[in-house]
């Protein structure tokens, strides 16, 4: 297994980088959204509050609200540059969606306890300095019966070509981090290019 090399700076701080990221992940995030929406529907989630941690340019939050119109989605990100684009993407959607965006840290979520029915996150975990703290915060803001879907890159030899894959965790590392956190009833699913952490009930 290739050695992990974390990012020194995991937040997009300038508009140009945010715009480039937005174009690069647009198609990928649509596919991620379909997968997340399908799982949420299987769980019977048709209304309530959803939090997207590390929302970036808001693509997942917007697509999720389109797929399940009964939910209210809050997108959280630490970067004002990407949130500016997220709000622009929302305006371009021209749909009566219940979506809002908040500036905040995944390790210190500025939202109330027991507030969300579902927490989602995609391609964010490897950017977090203290993943255990992020998992603890997800546990805190979820309702007692709330669920979660977290996906991210999976570290592999492909990390020699991608700094994001190189900065990611292995499935065993993720399990170890989860065991140290307050988040419970989780299952780690291992795929070739990515991994996911989902509620297990």
* pLDDT (tens digit per residue) in 99-143: 999 999 999 999 999 999 999 999 999 999 999 999 999 999 999
Residue 13: pLDDT band by 50, 70, 90 thresholds? confident
Give 156's contacts (C-beta < 8 A, 6+ positions apart). Answer: 1, 2, 165, 192, 193
Tell me which fold the domain 15-199 belongs to. Answer: Rossmann fold (3.40.50)
- For the entire predicted model, the pTM comes to 0.93
- Environment class of residue 19 by beta-carbon count within 10 Å: exposed (0-12), middle (13-18) or buried (19+)? middle
Written as six digits, the tokens of 81 are 């540059």
Domain ranges for the chain = 15-199
pLDDT in tens, 39-67: 999 999 999 999 999 999 999 999 999 99
């Amino acid at each position: 297994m290739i050695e992990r090399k974390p990012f020194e700076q995991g937040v997009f701080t300038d508009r140009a980088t945010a715009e480039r990221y937005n174009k690069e992940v647009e198609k990928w995030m649509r596919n991620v959204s379909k997968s997340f929406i399908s799982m949420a529907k299987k769980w019977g989630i048709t209304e309530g509050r959803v939090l997207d941690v590390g929302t970036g340019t808001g693509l997942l939050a917007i697509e999720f609200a389109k797929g399940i119109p009964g939910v209210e989605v809050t997108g959280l990100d630490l970067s004002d540059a990407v949130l500016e684009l997220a709000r622009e993407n929302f305006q371009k959607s021209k749909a009566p969606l219940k979506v809002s965006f908040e500036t905040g840290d995944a390790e210190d979520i500025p939202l109330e306890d027991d507030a969300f029915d579902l927490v989602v996150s995609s391609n964010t975990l490897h950017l977090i300095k203290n993943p255990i703290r992020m998992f603890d915060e997800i546990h805190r803001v979820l309702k007692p019966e709330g669920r979660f879907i977290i996906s991210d890159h999976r570290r592999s030899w492909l990390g020699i070509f991608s700094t994001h894959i190189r900065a990611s965790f292995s499935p065993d590392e993720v399990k170890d981090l989860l065991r140290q956190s307050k988040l419970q009833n989780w299952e780690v699913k291992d795929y070739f290019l990515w991994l996911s952490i989902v509620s297990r009930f």
